[in-house]
Every structure is written in structure tokens, then in C-alpha cells.
Structure 1
């Protein structure tokens, strides 16, 4: 017998954002099938040129993914949800910190999430509940280089 659980499906997500979320859902699902080192390599390329996402923008992206996908809204949809939210933020020129890790207290539990402003976005667990094993944050801006001197 399974325990019934209520999904927290966001309401009031604008149509354009839902459409964009549907657009990134397929690449996010495909990425979620890759091994971790490949996911990191792809995300490090995708994040280039993006500025750090605010907590509000990251939450809006997460809400949009949960509004269009029951899998992403469910308890086992953390990987495609976090990947999709990061990709959706990237469409707007921003990038949250994408993280994956494990719970620090028993029982063992793997999880993937996004962070903005140094805090998990939309997660019901308290800060520090998960130990980060892999993170892909916004790229550091390259220092300006001067041209050749004559």
C-alpha cells in the first residue's frame, strides 16, 4: 500500500513561462539520463555568459517546471526539475547554482536542487540538510585582458 501524498502544483504561472518550461523539459529529461560528469560538462558549457540568478527568478523557473510536469512536481522528479529550472533560468540570461548531493542524516537520500543567493530554492528541508557533492554555479567573469602593447 502506498501513502497518498498531495503534490504542490503552483498556480498562476504565466502562459509564456509554462510554454518555455515545456521547451526545456525534453532537454532536461535527456540530461537526467547522463552520468554526473557528463551532466556537469554540459551545464558548464550552457552557463557561459549568464549572470547569477536571483532567488525570485529561480523560484519562478522551478514553479513553471512543476506546473507543466507532474513528474517534476513529484518527490522523485528532483533531477529533471532542477535541470529544467536551471535551463529555464538560462533562457532569461541567468544561472542558478545547480547542485546534487546526499542527506546528512539517515536514511540515505540522494537529491538534486538549485540554489540562488547561497540558499536552496523551493526546498522543504532546512538549510544544511543535504551535503553538496556536485555543484555548477554561475561562471566567474573573465578578467579584462589588455591587448598587445606596442
Structure 2
């Protein structure tokens, strides 16, 4: 039930303006500890297993938010990022990082350029 609630929250929050979304996520992350990579990857898999919409390439924004919400409910927070893929296919993208690694995404950290980040404990 928690995973479905996180997915519903992610699908709701994508409707906010970028400024408002960032404010909401920063407040959620403010008192959280950084999530370990393995936990973030596990939560990622739970979210994509629960939502076909979050599992697809076009679902990167609600997926990243839903995983962040799931982490937060369980006491931690990933580094939430929005930006672009710097390698083909070039596109806007949202992703998560934990322990300075991209969580469950193809490529490596150098393949992405973040325009916005929300880190744990930044309140």
C-alpha cells in the first residue's frame, strides 16, 4: 500500500510548477538522511513494479518523485535530479542518485547534466 501511495503522490506532484515542486521536495528532504544505494535501487524496483506509467521512459519524473517519497516514508532521501541526458538520445530526464551513483538508469553519472538537485538534509 505504501508503494501505491508513493506512486499516487508522484503522479500528483508532477502537476506542480518546477519552482513549487522543488520547494515541496526540499521540505521533504530537509531532515532526512541520505539513502544507501541498494535501498534506493530496491525502492526504484518496487515503484516500477507497481506502476506501468512510472516504468516507461516517459515516466521518469513521476517515477523519480515516487521513489523519493517512498524513501522519505522510510526515513531517508536520495539525491533527486532533473536535467538532460548528455549522450544520445538527448532528452529531458529526471533521475535519482545515491552514494554518488545513478540509481537504476542506463549509463554513468557523466551521461547526465542536472539542472536541479534536491539533496537530503538541506533544510
Superposition TM-score tier, normalisation by shorter sequence: over 0.9
CA distance in 1, matches of 2:90, 2:17: 20
Deviation at 1:126, TM superposition (A): 2.4
Q: 1:118 to 1:25 in 2, by over 3 A?
A: same
Q: Superposition pairs for residues 67-86 of structure 1, below 5 Å?
A: 67-86=49-68
TM-score, structure 1 length as denominator? 0.77
Aligned equivalent of 1:11: none
Relative contact order (alpha carbons < 8 A, sep ≥ 6): 1 or 2 greater? 2
Unaligned runs of 5+ in 1: 1-18, 142-150
- Please tell me whether the aligned partners of residues 26 and 122 of structure 2 are also in contact (alpha carbons under 8 angstroms): no
Unaligned runs of 5+ in 2: none
CA distance in 2, matches of 1:128, 1:33: 29
Aligned equivalent of 2:114: 132
Structure in which a larger fraction of residues adopt helix? 2
Q: CA RMSD in A?
A: 1.4
Deviation at 1:24, TM superposition (A): 1.1
CA distance in 2, matches of 1:104, 1:58: 23
CA distance in 2, matches of 1:107, 1:65: 24
- Please tell me whether the aligned partners of residues 96 and 103 of structure 2 are also in contact (alpha carbons under 8 angstroms): yes
Any idea what SS the aligned residue of 2:57 has?
A: coil
Superposed structure 1 runs of 4+ greater than 3 Å apart: 105-108
Pairing partner for 1:61 from 35, 43, 47: 43
Pairing partner for 1:112 from 94, 98, 110: 94
Aligned equivalent of 1:97: 79
